[in-house]
Amino acid sequence: MTDKKTALVTGANKGIGFEISRRMAAEGYRVWLGCRDVQRGAAAVATLRDAGHDVHLLELDVASDASVARAIAELSQQTDHLDALVNNAGLGIGFEFSPLDEPIGTIKAVYETNTFGPIRVTQAALPLLKASAAPRVVMLSSELGSLHAALDPENEFFETNVLGYNSSKTALNAITVSLAKAAAPFGIKINAVDPGFTATDMTDHAGYRTVGQAAETAVRLATLGSSGPTAGYFKDEATLAW
């Protein structure tokens, strides 16, 4: 067990998740990197440990009920509380299809990771979060999930009309609000963040934002003070319209 502040970041072996993990560790947190690919996760942990950070590997596939249950059971053997949960793991496929013909199988796969995954992990981690003095949960969403942005012809992503991915993030935004309202009596603050169009594997490194820029708001929300918001949707210093 540990008296240090603790954090779990899903999808943490690369990209934004890795940078969030690095930043949280630099803030003095003991961080578990939730990774589906154990080999890549171990390499990520080794890199951060070489830099002097207190990080640990947690095998975790957010799309699997059994994997989530095993991972949280293992985590519970290593810590009796969780101060921050960052639901970062995401799947970005189906962009080549029109909403009129995107296969149901593709949409289901996206929802399993992007929508049901954060529910699975948050619900499973609830006892550990309740044991924290100041628990925080962050959902990695996207402006593509904003209905306001989707209907705004001036928005830079107006033409990015992807049925599965966009709606999975819209659903995640609604989930953020619902969970935040239910968790408020336990002092748990839950917010959603748009990391922006970031240069990662998911975007084929076409994004114009760095992982450092993308991680900034997520880290801020994961380390909020007692006066910080809950049930919000943020990008940098801006509050986004749902």
Q: How confident is the model at residue 91 (pLDDT cuts 50, 70, 90)?
A: very high
Give catalytic status of residue 165 as yes or no: yes
Mean pLDDT of 9-16: 96
17 versus 207: the higher-pLDDT residue is: 17
Catalytic residue among 29, 165, 208, 233: 165
In a domain, 195, yes or no: yes
Please report the pLDDT score of residue 200 as a whole number.
72
Q: Is residue 154 in some structural domain? A: yes
Per-residue pLDDT at 203:
66
Structural domain boundaries, residue 88 = 6-239
In CATH, what number is assigned to the domain containing residue 233?
3.40.50.720
Within a domain: 234: yes
Average pLDDT over residues 93-121: 98
What band does 2 get if pLDDT is binned at 50, 70 and 90?
low
pLDDT attached to residue 156: 94
| 3-class SS of residue 27 | coil
What angle do the packed helices 211-222 and 15-26 form, to 10 degrees? 50
| H-helix segments, the chain | 15-26, 38-50, 65-78, 104-114, 116-130, 147-150, 163-183, 211-222
Q: How many domains does the chain have?
A: 1
Q: Is 83 part of any domain?
A: yes
pTM: 0.96
Does residue 1 lie in a domain region?
Answer: no
pLDDT confidence band for 125 (50 / 70 / 90): very high
Could you report the per-residue pLDDT of 41-51, keeping only the tens digit for each? Answer: 999 999 999 99
